[in-house]
Chains A and B, each alone.
Chain A
């Protein structure tokens, strides 16, 4: 049985174990307050922004690049959304479309300098980190843009109606099992060896149980928070892109060996630029949620968020050398970081300690990874 588990899955298991450990520790330390429905709801809502940033970032890192500008970019895009909403009273849909488009443009702008002008991504996005923040402060004159309209608040503060949430989760569970089934059928049809049925359905079952218990907890409070719903959809889309599409395959190939990818006819420049474009769109979604949650566009918003996103990816098993990483891993990384934040805040751990602990966890995670890969 153990042999059928691949290295990447082993890593996912290790992360689940780490997450459970954190969960148990804080639950005991807070005498159960940590796992109250209200706090769990809160916790995963906090995960949404870093999680969505990590979804974009993981593609960037898999392609062996880096993006240091996402914090400032999120601030700028959030500021744009707030300005459209507060100053110009644009309808919600229009604000969303414009913000997302702006994100795409900023991402492609980064990507163009990196892919076609061959400026190292570290430099391009470091420049972006400074410049985007500068533009934001310039646009807003350094003051907070508030208060945002009640319609904008839907994105970050609302909850899915109970019936909706349940049907979404039910659909997801059914889809999961149907996918395992159809894959096994297709494999059988083409004479490909299947993994043990017990193993594959067992995995699906564990996922279903996790989803259902999450639903139970969330319904116990106010339902599924909209940001989490958005993140869930993006996880599905991004996993699909990474695992099933030619584009995703090419991103992995570029990160694994860019020269070999080029020799295989992969349009390396175009693919890289698109990766940054996709990242820009993810940043825009995160920015909308952030502005909606804060109810304002702040000139300091998103400060250092790029580091959280990178840390989430790395804790989630993404290799900075490129070619290795998963969307789900990055989300787990984000969840681990958010749990630590949340748990330590509940325990009134001073902020300086929180920073030290987060740094130590990051170092520890990568060290463990390096150690286990050597053997």
Chain B
């Protein structure tokens, strides 16, 4: 039998008795792309941690062969030396350093007492051209967008003479354009004989890119098939273990009167010349799901921050809520006015990681439970927590478990529960399903419809166009801080939104 580049056999990994991986086999050849699909918590990341040496040899069962040799890595350094490089969802660049300094961080050229700047510069230029990035090696990383940073990470990997590149959710925060660039680069790496393991929830990318698709469910290896013979629905049904009749469970609901009027929203970071939100006005109706689309950097999130009182710079906006004009200068004011927000960046703005799931949920409404001497009525609190855990189907061992131990989907559901406990009239969801598995996504969509039927109005910011079209009643498109277009959902296509979001000029429908 011909030796494959990578061969992982019978990988079993347990955490205190619970099997996270239950005999997984994967293999791939040089110049091939293998996608690994599975719901959050299915064991994908654990598998990659085993492969990259985060979990050292001996802490798992099974063997890994790479380029004909068995790997017994004890750390990431060992596997990197062999040519296996993993690029994580959260980028690991030092923002304060330049592109060149980042690429050579830890293995600078030259002697210990004199760094050879010239050859590092030349080499960086060559690497950047391999990833189609036309920026100066002296650019500070903090000036780059997320997409460009991702490419710098890949350039850094190329510099280490990578043979197998692992990309973990690389496109979850990229715009469509950036995604195309990234996919092209993976394809060109493939032609250069570099193998790639690609982990993504975005099945269209998976199918467009891979030779093989491997599906993992609850730590079990379900199947590895040639991508050419698969459809998205095939993969989804393998992932969830049941047929998913439709991705977007649209339900009819009544839309009422205008509840929120936003007029002339402006927002600018102090010191910046260009405003991030530039005179946006729109209306939201009762029981409506209003989608907001646009490229990253088009000002969508910033517009939401203006409504929620959390914009970090200077901003002004006229808000009329149920016929009354409101001044919202802080998150407390927003919550008091009946506006709740599920933030875009779950880890940074959403959760207090070491606090229990339940305590995270009741944080905004602690005043409600106060009895004598400021004490919290814990029984009352507990009842609310249990009710909402059940209502949102949050899977957690207990309400006291630190929320960091939950999967992304369950964390997100807990954050939504936190917002719902404030009984909002308006719920803002900023990228509500980013990095969340198909099952949890479906549940969140279902919940959104249940909420609008109860008269809650929802604003949803999303980069995933199928989601925007599939869920919203009406879609606003933003471009460079301005409102560029407005569409009803009937007959709306992804192309129409992209045309509006990217091209100059005004298009209205």
Contact = CB atoms under 8 A, between A and B. Distances in A.
Interface of A: 186-187, 189-190, 192, 240-241, 244-247, 249-250, 252-253, 256-257, 259-267, 323-324
Contacts of A267: 332
Given A257-B352, A263-B310, A265-B335, A246 B367 contact: yes
Interface string B319-339: 000000000000110110000
Contacts of A259: 348-349
Contacts of B144: none
A252 B379 contact: no
Nearest to A323: B354
Contacts of B383: 190
A229 to B, nearest CB: 21
Contacts of A264: 331, 363-364, 418
B359 interface: yes
A263 B343 contact: yes
Shortest 8 CB-CB distances between A and B: which pairs? A246-B366, A256-B352, A264-B363, A245-B374, A265-B335, A264-B364, A257-B352, A190-B379
A326 to B, nearest CB: 13
B369 interface: yes
Contacts of A253: 352, 355, 359, 363
B108 to A, nearest CB: 30
A324 B376 contact: no
Nearest to B352: A256
Interface string B239-260: 0000000000000000000000
B382 interface: yes
A261 B352 contact: yes
Contacts of A323: 352, 354-355
B332 A246 contact: no
A247 B374 contact: yes
Nearest to A246: B366
A262 B351 CA distance: 11
Given A186-B379, A189-B379, A244-B375, A260 B369 contact: no
Nearest to A268: B331
B119 to A, nearest CB: 40
Interface string B348-388: 11111111000110011011011001111011001100000
A256 B355 CA distance: 7
Contacts of B341: 263
A187 B418 contact: no
A190 B363 contact: no
Interface SS majority for chain A? helix
A224 to B, nearest CB: 25
Contacts of B364: 264-266
Contacts of A189: 379
A249 B379 contact: no
Nearest to B368: A246
B316 to A, nearest CB: 21
Given A265-B332, A323-B354, A260 B379 contact: no
Of the four ranges (under 10, 10 to 19, 20 to 34, 35 or more), the interface on chain B belongs to 20 to 34
A261 B362 CA distance: 11
B379 A192 contact: yes
Contacts of B376: 244-246, 249
Contacts of B382: 190, 192
A186 B170 CA distance: 49
A58 to B, nearest CB: 16
A261 B355 CA distance: 11
A248 to B, nearest CB: 9
B231 to A, nearest CB: 39
A261 B363 contact: yes
B348 A249 contact: no
Nearest to A247: B374
Nearest to A267: B332
B17 to A, nearest CB: 12
A244 B373 CA distance: 10
Contacts of B335: 265
A257 B351 contact: yes
A230 B359 CA distance: 32
Nearest to A186: B379
Contacts of A246: 366-367, 369-370, 374, 376
Contacts of B373: 240, 245
Contacts of B351: 257, 260
A264 B341 CA distance: 9
B359 to A, nearest CB: 7
20 contacts: A240-B373, A244-B378, A245-B373, A246-B367, A247-B374, A249-B359, A249-B363, A253-B355, A253-B359, A256-B352, A256-B355, A260-B363, A263-B341, A263-B343, A263-B350, A264-B331, A265-B422, A266-B363, A323-B352, A323-B354
Nearest to B371: A244
Nearest to B418: A264
Given A259-B349, A260-B351, 8 more contacts: A190-B382, A190-B383, A253-B355, A253-B359, A253-B363, A264-B363, A265-B335, A267-B332
B348 A260 contact: yes
Given A189-B379, A265-B335, A260 B349 contact: yes
Contacts of B353: 256-257
Contacts of A245: 370, 373-376
Nearest to B348: A259
A192 B378 CA distance: 11
Interface in B258-297: none
B248 to A, nearest CB: 28
Most chain A CB within a 10 A radius of its CB, from B334, B370, B378: B378
Interface in B138-176: none
B354 A324 contact: yes
Interface in B401-422: 418, 422
A347 to B, nearest CB: 40
Nearest to B310: A263
Contacts of A261: 352, 363
A225 B382 CA distance: 41
A245 B341 CA distance: 25
A250 B365 CA distance: 11
Contacts of A240: 373, 375
Contacts of B359: 249, 253
Most chain A CB within a 10 A radius of its CB, from B349, B355, B378: B355
A287 B364 CA distance: 37
A303 B208 CA distance: 68
Contacts of A187: 379
Interface string B114-151: 00000000000000000000000000000000000000
A245 B372 CA distance: 10
A323 B351 CA distance: 13
